[in-house]
Amino acid sequence: MKQPATTPSVDMLIVGAGFAGLYMLHKARCMGLDAMVIESAPSVGGTWYHNRYPGARVDIQSLEYSFSFDEALQQEWRWTERYAGQPELLRYANHVADRFGLRDGIRFDTRMRGAQFDEAAGEWVLQSECGETWRTRFLVMASGPLSSPNRPDFPGLGGFDGPVFHTADWPHEPVDFGGQRVAVIGTGSSAVQTIPIIAQQARELTVFQRTAAYAAPARNGPLDPAFEGRVKADYKNFRARNRRMHGGFGNLLPPNPVSALAVSAAEREARFEERWRIGGFAILGAFNDLLTNLQANALLAEFVRGKIRSTVHDPATAALLSPTHTIGCKRLCVDSGYYETFNLPNVRLVDVSTQPIERFDARGLFIGGRHHEFDTLVLATGFDAMTGTMLRLDLRGRGGLRIQDKWQAGPLNYLGLGIAGFPNLFNIAGPGSTSAFTNVIVAIEHHVDWIADCIGHMQAHGKTLIEVDERAEAGWAEHVNAAAKRTVFLSCNSWYLGANIPGKPRMFMPLADGFPRYADHCAEVARKGYEGFVLR
Ligand code: NA7
């Protein structure tokens, strides 16, 4: 195809058409900016476009995990279930795109290859994988914290004869597991959601587990119209109250402001039971120190292990399914019948914690010299989280600084929003922000609004360039680290730490400070004229 004579230029280029990219595009247009989105997929939805494995479902209630920026939108959209499934979430993303007329601003099937900062022009020059080029003043990475699937480099996997699926890159046509011998590798959130459904279809299911998962029951079901009515009658304030909650959700059931260590065993059990019956993340708020005090945490961990023992009939399987690490240190899974699945006669659990998967052959895999045979493989092995997508790009800032060099020891940033040496680049819900620790839609709306206000401030003051000050960046790294140290999150090998990817630098990436404190901090920075940033 003939290239245009001049490189097209926009005010803002947004990478990704998930919830972050959609709202950023809408907001930028409302400000009168000439903005466009590039998206590698053929349609909108991001996470909910790609993670379409059977059982994929949000783990925060849909009335909370949804946009609040438009009153008419939040009133008119009707969720059918307490926790929406992937198809409904994808319909919602499509509805948002149509309702706000966003599709004509999105270039689908267009994958970013890289972008370089042109210092003379004060612009980013971005290339797609197909060689198209755009110039933009502002580059917004809305590419998601969990968007690069982790495909472990198992020896011989390429020689396996059967189909191989990854939960984060699931085919669009239904996969029929009927009559199949299926293997699932991984027991994180995705596996916990899909295993009960695959088990119903497969002739045999073998689950390869490296670390046992803590899962709390979702108690999913049809959304109660009376409850929906109550929330919607006061939706604006309901959302505002959620923004003052640590995780950006759950204002109807605030954490119990009492230490788990300050009550009797009977009282503790009663509070745990109460929250277990409610379901989801509620249990983590049964006391106020479950995620900050290892002793308190151990009491909840034992409570959940008790639930596993009373659910799983075979004691050896129950023992293998019982996690020994800190609960909540890896994200708590929210399940529908996960532990019960291991009572089925066609389901088998194989421990790979001490003896890892050695290699594949055409018909299965070997562990400790023993062959396990199956027809179909499901990799539920998660993501190269928070940095994986950015580090695959040819992204170069001032003086040709490569993002791979900048982030060699971990993802340095300021407020999660900017990176020193990468002017006019904003990152949504990335490392250094509360991101994955928050109801991520609350995190996204906050970031988009902050970026829009920041650009508005620049316009009002005749500035065209904003850049993070290196000292502020260093201070923020300490802040993020200090916040993690006040919690139990450093006590296990999670993707928050980069520990799931061999060779990845270990740095605690999300901010564990709670959304309200973080949002207040960002507001304070703005109020002080974007302290910690240099504006020109
Ligand atoms: P997760 O939570 O990262 O889970 C991935 C699982 O895959 C986990 O059990 C891993 O064990 C396992 N894994 C990864 N690599 C291997 C190898 N090489 N061998 C055996 N097992 C392996 O990803 P999910 O997709 O389930 O969920 C990600 C987030 O999405 C979740 O936190 C929610 O926020 C939504 P490990 O625990 O590392 O020992």
Evaluate: CB of 439 within 6 angstroms of ligand 1. Answer: no
| Cα atoms in the 13 Å half-sphere on the side-chain side of 510 | 29
Q: Whose CA is nearest to atom 29 of ligand 1?
A: 189
289: tokens are 């120190």
Evaluate: CB of 495 within 6 angstroms of ligand 1. Answer: yes
Q: How far is the CA of 150 from the centre of ligand 1 (A)?
A: 9
- Which DSSP helix (H) or strand (E) runs through 333? strand 333-335
- Which DSSP helix (H) or strand (E) runs through 270? helix 265-278
Spatial distance between the Cα atoms of 298 and 306, rounded to a whole number of angstroms = 12
Residue range 191-214, pLDDT digits in tens: 999 999 999 999 999 999 999 999
3-state DSSP call for residue 347?
Answer: strand
Q: How far is the CA of 121 from the centre of ligand 1 (A)?
A: 43
3-state DSSP call for residue 272?
Answer: helix
Spatial distance between the Cα atoms of 367 and 275, rounded to a whole number of angstroms = 39
Tokens 């800032």: give the residue: 397
Amino acid sitting at position 474: A
Q: How many residues does the chain have?
A: 536
Residue range 235-263, pLDDT digits in tens: 999 999 999 999 999 999 999 999 999 99
Evaluate: CB of 323 within 6 angstroms of ligand 1. Answer: no
Evaluate: CB of 47 within 6 angstroms of ligand 1. Answer: no
Evaluate: CB of 90 within 6 angstroms of ligand 1. Answer: no
Spatial distance between the Cα atoms of 131 and 112, rounded to a whole number of angstroms = 9
Amino acid sitting at position 176: D
Query: 349 pairs with which residues across the strands?
Result: 207
pLDDT for position 6: 87
Evaluate: CB of 188 within 6 angstroms of ligand 1. Answer: yes
List of the chain residues with pLDDT < 50: 1-2
Q: Whose CA is nearest to atom 20 of ligand 1?
A: 210
pLDDT for position 2: 47
Evaluate: CB of 230 within 6 angstroms of ligand 1. Answer: no
CA 195 to the chain's CA centroid: 20
Ligand 1 pocket: which of 57, 165, 190, 214 to mutate (most atoms within 8 A of CB): 190
Amino acid sitting at position 226: A
Ligand 1 pocket: which of 52, 206, 210 to mutate (most atoms within 8 A of CB): 210
pLDDT for position 1: 43
* Cβ(515)–Cβ(247) below 8 Å: yes
* Cβ(256)–Cβ(113) below 8 Å: no
Ligand 1 pocket: which of 211, 500, 501, 504 to mutate (most atoms within 8 A of CB): 500
Q: How far is the CA of 57 from the centre of ligand 1 (A)?
A: 16
Spatial distance between the Cα atoms of 7 and 2, rounded to a whole number of angstroms = 12
3-state DSSP call for residue 162?
Answer: coil
Spatial distance between the Cα atoms of 533 and 466, rounded to a whole number of angstroms = 6
Long-range contacts, 158-164 (Cβ 8 Å, 24+): 159/360, 159/361, 159/362, 160/360, 160/361, 160/362, 160/363, 160/364, 160/365, 160/377, 161/362, 161/363, 162/374, 162/375, 162/376, 162/377, 163/376, 163/377, 164/376, 164/377, 164/378, 164/379
Query: 124 pairs with which residues across the strands?
Result: 117, 136
